[in-house]
Chain A
Amino acid sequence: MTAAAEFISVSKRFSRRAKVRTLAGLAGQWLRGPKRGPDGLLPHEFMALQDVSFAVQPGESLGIVGPNGSGKSTILKLLFRILRPDRGQVVTKGRVGGLIELGAGFHPYLSGRENVSINGAILGMSRADIRRQYEAIVEFSGLAEFMDMPVKDYSSGMYARLAFAIAAHANPDVLLVDEVLAVGDAGFQLKCYDWMARMRTSGRAVITVSHDMYAMAASTRCLFIKSGQVKAHGDARQVIEAYLTDLSRDRHDPVLETNFIKTADGVPRAEIKSVELLDGLGRPVTSIGHGANLMLRFHYHAAEQVHSPIFALTLFHDDPRYPLNLPRHYLFHVFSGPAFADQTLKGSGTVEVLVEDVRLPVGCYRAKTYLFERDGVSPIFVQDGVARLEVDRPDWSDGRPLLEHRQRWTITSHVST
């Protein structure tokens, strides 16, 4: 069986410099002369892809994962013949098409109907194809009554639906999909996934680039690429695992923000020195599963007296792998409220809160601590980025994520100074 799409030791060089040239710039280049380094690259050049090989058979899907700027989109552009390799060979069989740029060539002043013809032609459909498929395209888009409206008056969702409907009927043999599924509502996305699955079972090769690891796990195989080089290639789950491990290794934990009220000596009046994350049995953890108990231990130091202290901690969802599309990215909040209303802190100690049955969306979280006094309106101490917590893949059958969690607060030790 011959591959529908194949990369044979493909390398691609890019320039960091602006590519638009003027005669004046060219004259300067001639005068200076090119200085190539030992790797054969000019100083402003770099390898966008290095010796990349893979093959996708008809009926297979390949997911490409990797950090931003690693070369994923370059691979798609090479397959699409928008770019040509500097070394190696890109072989494709049949028509290459897909969802790289939805609505390419749409003209805002023309009607939906006119744009179907133009976009279809750009995607390689013949006039007869377009005429034959027109009704199906309109039906799929669900925009029958808007076809005579100029697309500039479409909502962005309508625009995407029409563009997708055309692309879906262009009938390519090799289908490229680049993150476009991030647009549109859930219903539209489901339609997209459905259609991609159908394309695959009908013998097309599907190549997808996405940061949505759930979607990528459904691929036949995955390719993990970093800095233009293949790091892993093979079974989808193993490759994704390798990618996620690599991601967490690269993460660093900077303290993002610290703010506090000072004493006359310039030190914080009171501060939360650190926060420990523990499981229900008091063992330190960096990640928790769905429905687990979580214990947070605050280490505080009060240089001056703090009356009726209030401890709080917020977990911000901070994970590009799992975009949540929430208006604000905090999901988890503990707040001691009136628990210590009759206490006065001075010196060092620890405060613990036990949170039961933590159900949070999967991903990495960043912790921000707050210490308030009495009224709790403005904090006397705030620190962002004090800890990180990873929430493992949830078992959805177990229930939905909770935004309110049961919490039990106690002062566990206190040494007065």
Chain B
Amino acid sequence: MSPMSITAELREVAGARGLAWMLASREVRVRYKHTVLGIGWALALPVALMLVFTFLFTRVAKVDAGGLPYPVFVFLGLVPWQLHANILSGAARCLTDQRNLVTKVYFAREALPLSVVLSALVDFAVAMTVLAALMAWYGIAPGPGLALVPVVLAVQLALATGLALVLSAANLLYRDVQYVLQVGLQVWMFASSVVYPIPRTGNLKWLAWLNPMTPILDAWRTCITGAHFGLAPEFGLAALISVVVLVAGWRWFRRMERVFGELA
């Protein structure tokens, strides 16, 4: 097999998108099969966390939610964060859990991490319906920024997909990755503006610049509610980081892919 050109590789990945959809729909169908609530379970975790953090940060301690009602603020942090966390933890296991596929059949391996991204998006879309109800309850009308939501989603998915590719391959090399990731995700969540805003001034301002998740989460809030969070240059840097992570992650995945059949 002579080495493929990048365009040939891209064509192969594009050819596998049908398979990624198929695997994602299998995953979603199996996940909620034989449950009474079915896909309603996608709401359970974000709603429960929203209630917990609302109690914590309105009764126990106060945070400045930038003028938004805290439940709306935190829900717009938790749901995109859950999407991110679900993609990463699902991706870390996707190759190792499907070793019978990886060692027996050939297809563009990207289909497996991509299917994790797609199936996480289904849960995300379901959870976002609660947001509409929540905003109606508080009388918040979405602003014109709503049109930019696809851009925010694309940047977040680029980052998550790049990391998903790296994590899926890395976990084949070292099964430690899936455990390190669980710790890392917890730390990362509290280092991002998920349940409280990250200050743009003072000692912690570098957290807002270096961690692309903070500008991304703030961009969700800005675009959907019209409230003002964060600044365009931070989001621009986050977008740049995301694209670099996606490209570098994919190239590394391709390099490692040669030995998947032996590692899985």
Within A80-132, the residues touching B (CB, 8 Å) are 80-85, 89-92, 96, 100-101, 104-105, 107, 109-110, 114, 117-118, 121-124, 126-127
Q: Is B22 within 8 A of A117, CB to CB?
A: yes
| CB < 8 Å neighbour of A114 from B26, B101, B102, B175 | B26
> B106 touching A20 by the CB < 8 A rule?
no
Given A21-B174, A26-B174 in contact, is the A118-B261 Cβ separation under 8 Å? no
Say yes or no: A80 contacts B106, CB within 8 Å.
Answer: yes
- The 8 nearest A-B residue pairs measured at CB: A101-B104, A82-B261, A121-B22, A121-B19, A81-B106, A104-B105, A84-B258, A83-B261
Q: List 25 A-B contacts (CB under 8 A).
A: A19-B263, A21-B173, A21-B174, A23-B176, A81-B1, A81-B106, A82-B261, A89-B1, A89-B2, A92-B1, A100-B104, A101-B104, A104-B100, A104-B101, A105-B23, A107-B26, A109-B30, A109-B34, A110-B26, A110-B30, A114-B26, A117-B22, A122-B105, A123-B105, A127-B22
A110 with B29: CB separation less than 8 A: yes
Q: Given A19-B262, A22-B175, A121-B19, is A105 in contact with B1 using a C-beta cutoff of 8 Å?
A: no
Complex Cα distance, B31 from A109, in Å, reads 10
B148 CB-CB contact with A under 8 Å: no
* Complex alpha-carbon distance, A20 and B177, angstroms: 12
- Least Cβ–Cβ distance between B187 and chain A, in angstroms: 19
Q: How far is the CB of B98 from chain A (nearest CB, A)?
A: 8
Instruction: Say yes or no: is A77 at the interface (Cβ < 8 Å to chain B).
Output: yes
Question: B33 an interface residue at 8 Å Cβ cutoff?
Answer: yes
Nearest opposing residue in chain B for A83, CB measure = B261
Q: Whole-angstrom distance between the alpha carbons of A121 and B102 in the complex?
A: 14
Cβ < 8 Å to A, chain B residues 99-123: 100-107
Q: What residues of A have a CB within 8 angstroms of the CB of B175 in the complex?
A: 20-22
B259 at the A/B interface (Cβ < 8 Å)? yes
- Bound state CA distance, A138 and B33, in angstroms? 24
Q: Compute how far the CA of A110 lies from the CA of B22 in the bound complex, rounded to whole angstroms.
A: 13
Indicate if B18 sits at the interface (CB-CB under 8 A).
Answer: yes
A contact residues, range? 35 or more
- Determine if A83 and B104 form an interchain contact, defined as CB atoms under 8 angstroms apart: no
- Interface of A, helix, strand, loop or mixed by DSSP: loop
Residue in A100, A110, A126 whose CB lies within 8 Å of B18: A126
**A253 CA / B105 CA spacing, docked (Å):** 40
Please report the C-alpha to C-alpha distance between residue A39 and residue B138 in the assembled complex, in whole angstroms. Answer: 74
Report the minimum CB–CB distance from A18 to chain B (whole Å). Answer: 11
Instruction: Return chain B residues, CB-CB under 8 Å to A100.
Output: 104-105
Report the bound CA distance from A14 to B263 in whole Å. Answer: 11
Q: How far does the alpha carbon of A20 sit from the alpha carbon of B174 in the complex, in Å? A: 7
1/0 contact trace for B238-261 toward A, CB 8 Å? 000000000000000000001101
Contact with B along A369-383 (1 / 0, CB 8 A): 000000000000000
A89 CA to B29 CA, complexed, in Å: 41
* Pick from A23, A77, A110, A126: contact of B261, CB under 8 Å: A77
**Residue in B closest to A80 when the chains form the complex, CB atoms:** B106
Checking B22, B258, B259 against A118 with a beta-carbon cut-off of 8 angstroms, the contacting residue is B22
| Contacting residues, chain A, for B174 (C-beta < 8 A) | 21-23, 26
A124 touches B107 (CB 8 A): yes
Are the C-beta atoms of A127 and B18 separated by less than 8 Å? yes
Given the complex of chains A and B, what is the CA–CA distance between A105 and B263 in angstroms? 19
Q: Is the CB of B106 within 8 A of A96?
A: yes
Provide the residues of chain B in CB contact with A85, threshold 8 Å.
Answer: 1
Instruction: Please name all residues of chain B whose beta carbon is closer than 8 Å to the beta carbon of A109 when the two chains form the complex.
Output: 30, 33-34
- Closest-CB distance, A379 to chain B (whole angstroms): 48
Which B residue sits closest to A111, measured CB to CB? B29
Note all chain A residues with C-beta closer than 8 A to B26: 105, 107, 110, 114, 118
Binary flags per residue of B25-51, CB closer than 8 Å to A gives 1, else 0: 010011001100000000000000000
The complex places the Cα of A104 from the Cα of B104 at a distance, in Å, of: 8
CB contact between B259 and one of A84, A91, A126 (< 8 Å): that residue: A84
Task: Please give, as numbers and ranges, the residues of chain B lying within 8 Å of A114 by CB-CB distance.
Answer: 26, 29
Q: What's the least CB distance linking A23 to chain B, in Å?
A: 5
Hey, which chain A residues are within 8 Å of B19, CB to CB?
A: 121-122
Chain B residues in 8 Å Cβ range of A14 = 262
Closest to B105 in A: A104
CB closest residue in chain A, given B18: A127
